[in-house]
């Protein structure tokens, strides 16, 4: 036991002391808010600095009305279309809109000319503008006014609640739970790959530097493997905690500096420069969102995250260690990586394709129970409310799963690390598995 601790300590220290660890640990939390903040800032600046564009309008119907806006200066030009086109093409103006005489029920033949292909949103914007005007004209004709129309409209909003067996109800919001599920599932996916690869790399390095023989004469190979896997895991946990702390500190500081609220909705609003009325309406929504967020059992999710991260990592870390022990170079490892990576990728795809559309469906259930996919999928499902028995079953199976893979990997590892230059295939791996010590 004492020696496993020595191995863990060495694995941990040798990684944490590296300059690259320090760099990545500090840079990542700096980089993410910097990128997000930078983009928000640019978007705001872009909106502010937009130049006034001149749009020629040739309106043969003479029933439409073009008022200048912040962004567009409409100039009514004279026909016919050919001369208007000629004039526009010589100018450096933004666009030419041609509106022929048309019937209100069938507005056809409206054209938009520009020097470069316009974006979809741009043309759509003009379409909306014209549609709104035609609608107004039609309204006037039918004798209705805006107010009457507004009275006809009824807004329906369904509030969804989670009803527990005890009868407590808590408000749910699929947007928020989706967000949590997505982030948690993806983080685990990311960690499995990054730290799994580190374990494999470490084993290959040890094998290549030929120090293994000295080490295994003092430590059981299985203990050595466990020490390595746990050592790398503790690096991961420490790095994760530092990231979380740094990201929250920097985010708060950064948001404050930009004068932005932490809430993404509000931020988006500021970018769009929405008017006062909708902002009040949105503020209510924001508060509701905040209530939902505060309803989320953060402690439970964090604890489950740590459990599924460690469980999934032990399960896959052991397999990565076994692959590392069987090969001489990272290139040789490719052939054995596929069967390990496949379930991880299936888990992430299952999360997107099955869990988010139908979190309690059959496939979602099975993916969150099977240990090879459960770390990612269960973290994705957790926000949608998972019955306790399912959670317990999934956790027990995950523990059983990593005990199994640790045992399996240990049997390959003990033989593999002492083999040099052997061409290894699955048949040989199976032989090692069966071989007595």
Residues lying near another protein in the complex (CB under 8 A) are found at 3, 6, 10, 14, 18, 205-206, 208-211, 213-219, 418, 420, 431, 435-437
- CA of 403: how far to CAs of 59, 283, 319, 376, 407, in Å? 77, 50, 11, 18, 6
Q: Are 54 and 33 in contact (CB under 8 A)?
A: no
CB of 11 to another protein, least distance (A): 11
Q: How far is the CB of 252 from another protein (least distance, A)?
A: 37
Count of all residues that appear for the chain in the document: 437
In whole angstroms, the minimum distance from the beta carbon of 191 to another protein comes to: 23
Nearer to another protein, 211 or 262 (CB): 211
H/E stretch holding 390 reads helix 388-416
Q: What is the DSSP string of 299-338?
A: HHHHHHHHHHHHHHHHHHHHHHHHHHHH-SSHHHHHHHHH
Q: How far apart are CA 94 and CA 258, in angstroms?
A: 33
Smallest distance, another protein to C-beta of residue 208, A: 8
Contact 381, 359 (CB under 8 A): yes
Query: For residues 203 and 232, is the Cβ–Cβ distance under 8 A?
Result: no
Please, what is the minimum distance in Å from the beta carbon of residue 243 to another protein?
24
Is the Cβ of residue 259 or residue 421 nearer to another protein in the bound state? 421
Q: Closest distance between another protein and the C-beta of residue 197, in Å?
A: 17
Nearer Cβ to another protein (5/41)? 5
15 or 56: CB nearest another protein = 15
Closer of 205 and 358 to another protein (Cβ): 205
The three-class DSSP label of residue 106 is: strand
Q: Decide whether 10 or 129 has the Cβ nearer to another protein.
A: 10
């Amino acid at each position: 036991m004492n020696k496993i601790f020595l191995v863990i300590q060495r694995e941990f220290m040798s990684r944490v002391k590296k300059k690259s660890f320090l760099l990545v640990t500090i840079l990542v939390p700096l980089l993410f808010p910097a990128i997000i903040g930078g983009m928000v800032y640019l978007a705001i600046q872009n909106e502010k600095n937009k130049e006034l564009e001149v749009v020629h309008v040739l309106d043969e119907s003479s029933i439409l009305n073009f008022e200048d806006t912040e962004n567009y200066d409409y100039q009514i030009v004279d026909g016919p279309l050919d001369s208007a086109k000629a004039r526009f093409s010589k100018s450096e103006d933004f666009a030419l809109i041609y509106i022929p005489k048309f019937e209100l029920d069938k507005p056809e033949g409206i054209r938009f000319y520009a020097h470069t292909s316009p974006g979809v949103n741009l043309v759509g914007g003009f379409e909306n503008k014209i549609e709104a005007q035609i609608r107004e004209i039609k309204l006037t004709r039918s004798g209705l006014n805006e107010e009457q129309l507004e009275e006809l409209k009824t807004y329906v909003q369904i509030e969804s609640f989670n009803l527990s067996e005890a009868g407590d109800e808590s408000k749910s919001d699929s947007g928020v739970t989706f967000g949590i599920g997505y982030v948690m599932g993806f983080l685990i996916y990311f960690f499995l790959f990054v730290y799994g690869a580190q374990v494999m790399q470490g084993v290959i390095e040890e094998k290549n530097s030929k120090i293994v023989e000295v080490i295994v004469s003092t430590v059981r190979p299985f203990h050595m493997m466990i020490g390595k896997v746990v050592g790398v895991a503790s690096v991961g946990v420490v790095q994760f905690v530092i990231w979380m702390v740094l990201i929250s500190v920097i985010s708060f500081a950064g948001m404050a500096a930009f004068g932005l609220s932490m809430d993404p909705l509000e931020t988006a609003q500021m970018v769009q420069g929405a008017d006062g009325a909708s902002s009040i309406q949105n503020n209510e929504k924001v508060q509701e969102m905040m209530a939902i967020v505060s309803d989320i059992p953060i402690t439970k999710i964090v604890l489950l995250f740590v459990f599924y991260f460690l469980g999934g990592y032990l399960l896959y870390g052991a397999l990565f260690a076994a692959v590392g022990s069987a090969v001489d170079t990272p290139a040789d490892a490719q052939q054995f990586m596929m069967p390990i990576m496949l379930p991880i990728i299936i888990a992430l795809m299952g999360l997107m394709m099955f869990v988010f559309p139908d979190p309690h469906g059959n496939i979602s259930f099975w993916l969150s129970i099977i240990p090879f996919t459960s770390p990612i999928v269960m973290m994705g499902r957790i926000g949608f409310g998972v019955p306790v028995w399912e959670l317990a079953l999934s956790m027990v199976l995950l523990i059983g799963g990593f005990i199994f893979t640790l045992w399996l990997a240990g049997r390959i590892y003990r033989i593999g690390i002492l083999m040099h230059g052997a061409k290894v295939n699955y048949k040989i791996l199976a032989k090692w598995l069966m071989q007595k010590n």
